[in-house]
């Protein structure tokens, strides 16, 4: 018995010693980066050459680095492998780059979501195509191979949009300071000017534009490590509206004029640890944003604080739980209509897609339990020779979800019956995820009013991508 005990003890010591073996990274080789500069890839790695790690720590850093490279959204596939030689390791990184230059035509619906557009379309006997947008969008990702983004958009139709945008992840020697900037113009012949009973009210004039919105944005970002990012933003916004909108809603610009403007400065901190920002399954996110509005030609002078926390775990093989909590606090409830943003646009409770719930302060909780009914499957598309498109993948998830939200809109409580009430939507979902970061979500939801419906979405249900 003593011999057996001594053998097991010796085996445990040897096994522990082996698991704690220290290796040195001798080299890092990158293959497949035909466009992407090497320094862009090396910047996302959690390990470096000539550094020493235990085998367990190195494996963890390889997985973390793989996620970091995927979240650049520059590559369809990322594989990091290692080859051991004595006490050293050679690292090999194989990537499959995406197609980066997209001069594609625009043909899209101009609504908050697919269901609100379809409801309006069917109500007009499937003959009203006025709520469609068309045009062209030049989207040049990984511009110059440095993960820069250059965008130029000309969109006509129901909601015109003209945009020029440029983003660069860093421009200093230490690769820590970046810049984002854009200038854009929106024009509409049909503009929503108020919300009543949680439905948008529109004013339309087929002969002239009823609203024109101008926006200029400048962001300075600081990212020293891999996970934490700081942003300082400056934003200017100007809106011009028709006389009828000012008459119908004097609070639209809050200045009894047909033109209103304001300035906004924002500080944002992001701590990003999600495995895949487009459709996360593991990890967590913490995001805090503080903004101060300054008066222009509209009397807007308040502060806002936004926060979001997301957590994703895999308690059992192929079962995933995701949860998020978001909140918004404002220093005043007296806000111009064109500046406030509640539920129904970027933030919403599933099951309430047909409603807009205005408010200056809110909290929003989302939880989902998913089962991976089809694991990530990689395949090659026949007759396609370009490797940016030839190799594809997909996965399918079946889930149940529960969303809760609460919003305050005390100045308009007579016309906003859903404010100061618990909004609860729950249901089941089928999610299809494929390459080029595309998602299709089919959801069957029930809200607290007992209303049921099938809703289509094309993005992450938890609302924060990056």
| Helix locations, 214-327, DSSP H | 243-248
Place of tokens 């499937």: 126
Kindly report the backbone phi and psi dihedral angles of residue 61, in degrees, each rounded to the nearest multiple of 5, phi listed first: -70, -30
- Rounded to two decimals, what is the model's pTM? 0.86
- Greater confidence, 12 or 124? 124
Residue 397 burial by CB count (10 A; 0-12/13-18/19+): exposed, middle or buried? buried
What is the band of 17 on the pLDDT scale with cuts at 50, 70, 90? very low
Tokens of 114: 């697919």
Is 325 in contact with 309 (CB distance < 8 Å)?
yes
| Helix locations, 196-309, DSSP H | 243-248
What is the band of 3 on the pLDDT scale with cuts at 50, 70, 90? low
What is the band of 387 on the pLDDT scale with cuts at 50, 70, 90? confident
Q: CA separation (Å) from 248 to 92, 203, 237, 338, 455?
A: 64, 9, 22, 14, 32
pLDDT of residue 130: 59
pLDDT of residue 11: 47
Is 366 in contact with 423 (CB distance < 8 Å)?
no
Dihedral sign computed on CA atoms, order 50, 52, 55, 61: negative
Structural domains of the chain in order of their starting residue, each with its CATH number = 2-97 (3.10.20.310), 169-457 (2.40.160.50)
Is 237 in contact with 217 (CB distance < 8 Å)?
no
CA 170 – CA 179 distance, rounded (Å): 7
The DSSP 8-state label assigned to residue 353 in this structure reads T
For the beta carbon of residue 13, count every other beta carbon within 10 angstroms: 10
Dihedral sign computed on CA atoms, order 8, 13, 16, 21: negative
What is the band of 168 on the pLDDT scale with cuts at 50, 70, 90? very high
Q: Tell me: pLDDT of 448 over 90.
A: yes
- Nearest CA to 433 out of 424, 442, 425 is that of 442
Tokens of 124: 């007009």
Tokens of 376: 């990530």
Tokens of 99: 């197609």
Kindly report the backbone phi and psi dihedral angles of residue 16, in degrees, each rounded to the nearest multiple of 5, phi listed first: -65, -45
What proportion of the chain, given as a percentage, has pLDDT over 90?
73
pLDDT of residue 137: 85
**pLDDT tens, position by position, 398-418:** 999 999 999 999 899 899 999
CA 257 – CA 297 distance, rounded (Å): 9
pLDDT of residue 13: 47
Residue 200 burial by CB count (10 A; 0-12/13-18/19+): exposed, middle or buried? middle
Least confident piece of the model among 115-119, 241-245, 261-265, 322-326: 115-119
For the beta carbon of residue 450, count every other beta carbon within 10 angstroms: 6
For the beta carbon of residue 86, count every other beta carbon within 10 angstroms: 8
What is the band of 21 on the pLDDT scale with cuts at 50, 70, 90? confident
Tokens of 22: 């220290």
The DSSP 8-state label assigned to residue 34 in this structure reads S
SS3 55: helix
User: What is the chain's Cα-based Rg?
Assistant: 26
**pLDDT tens, position by position, 110-127:** 555 667 656 666 766 665
Is 36 in contact with 74 (CB distance < 8 Å)?
yes
**pLDDT tens, position by position, 23-58:** 999 999 999 999 999 999 999 999 999 999 998 999
Tokens of 330: 């404002």
What is the band of 16 on the pLDDT scale with cuts at 50, 70, 90? very low
Q: Tell me: pLDDT of 108 over 70.
A: no
- Nearest CA to 349 out of 397, 431, 419, 284 is that of 419
| Helix locations, 175-324, DSSP H | 243-248
Least confident piece of the model among 29-38, 436-445, 454-463: 454-463
- Nearest CA to 234 out of 179, 177, 288, 176 is that of 179
The predicted model gives 283-298 an average pLDDT of 97
Provide the pairing of β-strand 438-446 with 22-31.
Answer: unpaired
């Amino acid at each position: 018995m003593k011999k057996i005990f001594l053998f097991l003890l010796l085996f445990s010591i040897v096994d522990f010693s082996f698991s704690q073996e220290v290796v040195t990274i001798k080299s890092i080789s990158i293959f497949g980066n035909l466009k992407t500069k090497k320094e862009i890839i090396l910047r996302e790695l959690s390990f470096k050459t000539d550094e020493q790690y235990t085998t367990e720590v190195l494996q963890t850093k390889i997985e973390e680095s793989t996620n970091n490279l995927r979240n650049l959204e520059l590559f369809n596939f990322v594989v990091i492998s290692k080859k051991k030689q004595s006490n050293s390791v050679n690292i090999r990184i194989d990537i499959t780059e995406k197609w980066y230059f997209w001069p594609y035509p625009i043909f899209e619906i101009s609504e908050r979501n697919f269901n609100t557009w379809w409801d309006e379309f069917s109500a007009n006997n499937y003959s009203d195509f006025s709520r469609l947008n068309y045009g062209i969008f030049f989207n040049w990702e990984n511009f110059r191979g440095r993960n820069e983004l250059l965008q130029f958009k000309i969109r006509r139709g129901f909601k015109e949009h003209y945009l020029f945008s440029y983003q660069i992840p860093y421009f200093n020697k230490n690769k820590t300071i970046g810049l984002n900037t854009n200038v854009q113009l929106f024009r509409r012949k049909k503009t929503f000017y108020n919300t009543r009973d949680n439905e948008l009210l529109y004013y339309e004039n087929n002969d002239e534009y009823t609203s024109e919105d101008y926006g200029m944005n400048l962001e300075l970002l600081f990212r020293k490590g891999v996970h934490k990012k700081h942003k300082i933003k400056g934003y200017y916004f100007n809106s011009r509206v028709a006389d009828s909108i000012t008459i119908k809603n004097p609070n639209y610009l809050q200045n009894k004029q047909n033109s209103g403007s304001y300035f906004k400065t924002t500080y944002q901190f992001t701590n990003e640890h999600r495995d895949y920002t487009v459709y996360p399954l593991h990890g967590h996110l913490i995001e805090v944003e503080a903004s101060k509005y300054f008066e222009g030609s509209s009397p807007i002078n308040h502060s806002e604080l936004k926060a979001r926390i997301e957590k994703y775990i895999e308690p059992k093989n192929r079962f995933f739980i995701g949860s998020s909590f978001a909140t918004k606090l404002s220093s005043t409830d007296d806000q111009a209509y064109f500046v406030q943003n509640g539920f129904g646009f970027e933030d919403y409770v599933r099951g309430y897609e047909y409603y807009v719930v205005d408010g200056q302060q809110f909290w929003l909780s989302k939880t989902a339990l998913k089962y991976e009914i089809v694991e990530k499957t990689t395949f090659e598309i026949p007759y396609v020779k370009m490797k940016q498109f030839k190799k594809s993948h997909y996965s399918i998830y079946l889930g149940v979800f529960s969303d809760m939200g609460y919003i305050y809109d005390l100045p308009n409580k007579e016309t906003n019956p859903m404010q100061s009430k618990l909004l609860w939507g729950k249901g089941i979902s089928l999610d299809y995820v494929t390459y080029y970061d595309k998602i299709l979500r089919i959801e069957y939801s029930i809200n607290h009013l007992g209303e049921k419906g099938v809703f289509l979405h094309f993005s992450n249900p938890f609302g924060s991508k990056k």
